[in-house]
Amino acid sequence: MSPTDTPPSNPTPPPQAPAGPLTMHGQYIKDLSFENPRAPQSLIEQKQPQLTLNVTVNTRQFDPRTFEVALTVEASAITPEKEPLFMLELVYAGTVTLGDVPQDAFGPLLFIETPRLLFPFARAIVANTTREAGFPPLNIAPVDFVALYRQQLDAAGGKIATVPGGPVGHA
């Protein structure tokens, strides 16, 4: 074919790939709070702190298949004398649309798969925030979101509500 030839026309458009079970539209910091109440003394004293870490997952429904999934990370450190070194709270969220999946797949997609996608970014934010505050970076170990989901199911009596138009569970 020479540069002046036009390519043959194709009357049928290429087939579109089927939508996956989960489409991530965006992810964002919804809330970030860091307190260092004893600075600069907390940075001068180099004592081994006692760390507390809590991770929860919450969802909010926008329409029958679109949700906000929020991963909340709360971390704090106290001295052996029980004085606070720092308190951190991060709510890192993403909006997702679920594809053509049965209703019973909503829970695992919202409370396991979406948090797995969000977690590496939340982990990096926590590490960077603690490092920028003058502490060693707090590198959170991977979270077992399957176990966390099972705990939420047990706490909710075996079912997390996924009624279209209604709330979708809690942590």
Total domain count for the chain?
1
The pair of three-digit structure tokens given for residue 117, joined into one six-digit string: 């996608």
Report yes or no on 164 lying in a domain.
Answer: no
Would you say residue 41 has pLDDT above 80? yes
Report yes or no on 162 lying in a domain.
Answer: no
State the alpha helices, DSSP H only, in 53-159.
106-108, 114-132, 145-155
pLDDT digits (tens, 9 = 90+) for 53-110: 999 999 999 999 999 999 999 999 998 888 899 999 999 999 999 998 888 889 999 9
Report yes or no on 169 lying in a domain.
Answer: no
Structural contact between residues 116 and 145, judged by C-beta atoms closer than 8 angstroms: yes
Report yes or no on 136 lying in a domain.
Answer: yes
The DSSP bridge pattern shows strands 50-63 and 66-78 to be antiparallel
- Report the CATH number at residue 116: 3.10.420.10
Report yes or no on 166 lying in a domain.
Answer: no
Report yes or no on 15 lying in a domain.
Answer: no
Report yes or no on 120 lying in a domain.
Answer: yes
Give me the domain span that covers residue 139: 22-155
pLDDT digits (tens, 9 = 90+) for 144-171: 999 999 988 888 776 665 434 333 333 3
pLDDT level of residue 40 (50, 70, 90 thresholds): confident
Going from the C-alpha of 136 to that of each of 2, 120, 132, 139, 148, the distances in angstroms are 63, 18, 9, 9, 27
